[in-house]
Structure 1
């Protein structure tokens, strides 16, 4: 026991370089989730594809994460921290390089899958390592820094890519990432330590298959709705297959002595409530980050550069708020953050559901900035509070499940938001005589965006109701 304690102490003393390595790699991985959103219009023209097809560059990325992340709890117990970190960075670098060189949509889509494998390995490893190397009274501040990455990176993705697109081609969105990924890899090789315990539990192939079909089927079904319609056979079939596989997967996990993903984490009420809050919050984030660029560029006729500038203040403010909310969480717990956070989100989404083609750009900046203040008050406090209630042996399963549903909610939110927007846009255009009029196109998309924000408003309302049941948790 004494040697183990000494080892742990050594690891604790070197937490800063470990954290820095995770922050750099995590930022680029999550930046990739939304960086292409600002270039979707260009990619539709370049590759001669539809808006529902181009959406797969985001949804496919999230779909891969949804399939891979559930297995991560098992991988964390089979391989060392260093091994998983280095492999995740290698996948990210290869995927980003292929994307930068992609000559066709198919190659670009393939590269996004490779990128997502890297991110899918990294995210659960990052959360699990933080839980192991930081004491409970310092986790809020540390998770605040992680939150800066998790929320700041996707938020500034469209802003940075908008700046790039003003002067360069979409390929450079990926080229600028490569030096940072190499820096993170070198940092990991030099400083990353093995902080987890390798137990090598039995690998259950059937559980992996059921998990992949379950999570993948649901995300694929929702994503296909944008192209095929909600009443299509493929959409209904995939969602039913996904739900059936998830049910079988869940029943199997509860009966196994060594489950691939230990669903007994759901017996801890604060973890379950935190899980739901994160699911809802990430649905709002990803929906907003795909709707606003489209609204700004088509509805308000802004350039990619201008749209990026409009979204930048919210992303910066969101990143700055996260460490602050982390420290508040350490002192006062989650309730004083999560309840008002959801209330702020609710008000802003209601205002966003009333945007028009005459809405001032300054108003969009204010709405977006205040919305993401609300997001920063909810996401990391709810997540940290939920994970705090778990015993140490359930950390890998808790982080895997939390990250799985987080990514799945992003994919579902993106798909539903685009589907609602497209349907409303078609309905609006069906009543227009001159459908080639540019002003009609902008007005129709804005009408679709309004309806999509009503969807996010309803989701946030559910989040507010859940938040009243959240209270401070501590490991017994």
Structure 2
């Protein structure tokens, strides 16, 4: 495969124009992810201020996730139909509209509806922005560009909790959206001014059956994964949704096979390197999101750290990822995926494994060091793993490849959070029972003599904290498994590379 087949040609503009357009893309991606990461810390405030329940207000997050997953399959079609510049402006405009409506929400229902509108725009910004990077950047700079672009994907979730804590403490939850809206509008302005629309190709017919099947599969699966822990994995609703998602996927594969205008191009997964890249990067997403989900729970619920201080403790990890990503992109352009993949995945896997040692008394300095090293590992391997797959597809397929890979990784991250939540709850309950059973009558009398009449509630609280800590530790142990499983996949890139060289040599001899 030639270089002209593996990456899109750069735009005709100057180097300065390309990098200014790239800045507009980064800002759009950053503000979409940051806005979503601000919400998690605000759930208690939203529940109180809107007189809602935790179960219903969680739909502020779930609704956005579902809308994002449902709309992603349309990215490739719209990019070819109206052009990536117009589609990015449209996506940012819809996201801004939804964010603006959130500011004026008067009830939990109106806030959820506004978040769904925001999700319809925000869901396509990441895959679309990745596509544009391949369209406007020269092939030799793609790795470095994606490394810088990846900062928005990794740093925003780490900055979000800290910023959210400050805004809620000093102002109120509406400022979570007020602060995002000017950046979103500025991103629209930058996209209009700085990005040049290339000539569009032949418009294709919209694949309605494929879109409906893809949306059904993504929507039902994400809903089931988001609500499995609360509704019960064996409940009729969750089992039914998983059943629908499975058969929607089966029919999607059948309907899309060999179709020229497929909304999800199944034939892309025949590409060995692309498929390998999607699998490996999905494993990394599972391990990464497990840590991002578990660490705030440990700090706030076990060590009683405030949301603001929680975000501050997560800053070293965010900085490590942010510093390493562009460096890793440049190293990828020079050395390829194998050394970066092995070093990054090994470091990330071992640091995630070490987090299973967490206890209620774990010092914050130790945690910051481990998380920072973990961030370095993620920064080294995450974007190179995505880039090696995207480089393996023809330039004309970059949009569809970005759509497919982002959809798979989104589902993998949602699945990881759902599974890890279930594991954490199960292991916490088991540890709580074991610790309670280990208290002998003599120990009980000692506690009573030491603590007085309140000894039972005090000991019960200590048991809960210890059991919760052990449950989170066990879950960190499990979350390291996908990271270690992805390490052997890196060696398959070596094998494939050798095979391709041998094939090329045979072809040259034949000619």
SS of the counterpart of 1:26? helix
- Cα 1:435–1:214 shift into 2, 3 Å: farther
SS of the counterpart of 1:170? coil
Structure 1 position 449 matched with structure 2 position 452: no
CA-CA distance at 1:444 after TM superposition:
4.0
Structure 1 position 217 matched with structure 2 position 190: no
CA-CA distance at 1:149 after TM superposition:
1.4
Contact in 1 for aligned 2:10/2:136 (Cα 8 Å): no
1:376-455, aligned counterparts within 5 Å? 376-428=379-431, 434=457, 438-455=461-478
CA-CA distance at 1:446 after TM superposition:
2.3
Structure 1: how far apart are the matches of 2:205 and 2:31? Answer: 33
Compute the RMSD of aligned alpha carbons.
Answer: 2.7
The aligned residue for residue 369 of structure 2 is: 366
- Name stretches of at least 5 consecutive residues in structure 1 with no aligned partner: none
CA-CA distance at 1:7 after TM superposition:
10
Per-residue CA deviation, residues 386-445 of structure 1 (Å, 9 max, x unaligned), is 100111111111011111112222222222222322333444556756499554554343
Tell me which of 119, 124, 127 is aligned to 1:121.
124
Which region of structure 1 is more displaced relative to structure 2, 6-15 or 158-167? 6-15
The aligned residue for residue 302 of structure 2 is: 299
- Cα 1:132–1:451 shift into 2, 3 Å: same
CA-CA distance at 1:300 after TM superposition:
0.6
Structure 2: how far apart are the matches of 1:164 and 1:292? Answer: 21
The aligned residue for residue 274 of structure 2 is: 271
SS of the counterpart of 1:390? coil
The aligned residue for residue 110 of structure 1 is: 113
The aligned residue for residue 183 of structure 1 is: 186
Tell me which of 483, 490, 502 is aligned to 1:467.
490
Structure 1 position 251 matched with structure 2 position 254: yes
- Name stretches of at least 5 consecutive residues in structure 2 with no aligned partner: 1-7, 437-455, 505-511
Q: TM-score, normalised by structure 1?
A: 0.91
The aligned residue for residue 92 of structure 1 is: 95
Contact in 1 for aligned 2:344/2:381 (Cα 8 Å): yes
Contact in 2 for aligned 1:97/1:175 (Cα 8 Å): yes
| Count of aligned pairs between the two proteins | 472
- Cα 1:158–1:267 shift into 2, 3 Å: same
Which region of structure 1 is more displaced relative to structure 2, 331-340 or 277-286? 277-286
Structure 2: how far apart are the matches of 1:276 and 1:306? Answer: 35
- Cα 1:54–1:443 shift into 2, 3 Å: farther
Per-residue CA deviation, residues 94-114 of structure 1 (Å, 9 max, x unaligned), is 222222333333333223222
CA-CA distance at 1:184 after TM superposition:
0.8
Per-residue CA deviation, residues 247-284 of structure 1 (Å, 9 max, x unaligned), is 11012111323322222211221111111122122222
Structure 1 position 357 matched with structure 2 position 333: no
SS of the counterpart of 1:259? coil
The aligned residue for residue 26 of structure 1 is: 29
Which region of structure 1 is more displaced relative to structure 2, 283-292 or 314-323? 283-292
Which structure's CA Rg is the greater one? 2
SS of the counterpart of 2:257? helix
CA-CA distance at 1:125 after TM superposition:
1.9
Structure 1 position 236 matched with structure 2 position 259: no
Contact in 2 for aligned 1:89/1:181 (Cα 8 Å): yes
Per-residue CA deviation, residues 74-123 of structure 1 (Å, 9 max, x unaligned), is 11111122221211111121222222333333333223222222222222
Structure 2: how far apart are the matches of 1:315 and 1:398? Answer: 27
CA-CA distance at 1:322 after TM superposition:
0.6
Which region of structure 1 is more displaced relative to structure 2, 336-345 or 42-51? 42-51
1:158-173, aligned counterparts within 5 Å? 158-173=161-176
Structure 2: how far apart are the matches of 1:190 and 1:23? Answer: 15
Contact in 2 for aligned 1:164/1:173 (Cα 8 Å): yes
Q: TM-score, normalised by structure 2?
A: 0.86
Structure 1 position 140 matched with structure 2 position 143: yes
CA-CA distance at 1:45 after TM superposition:
4.9
SS of the counterpart of 1:9? coil
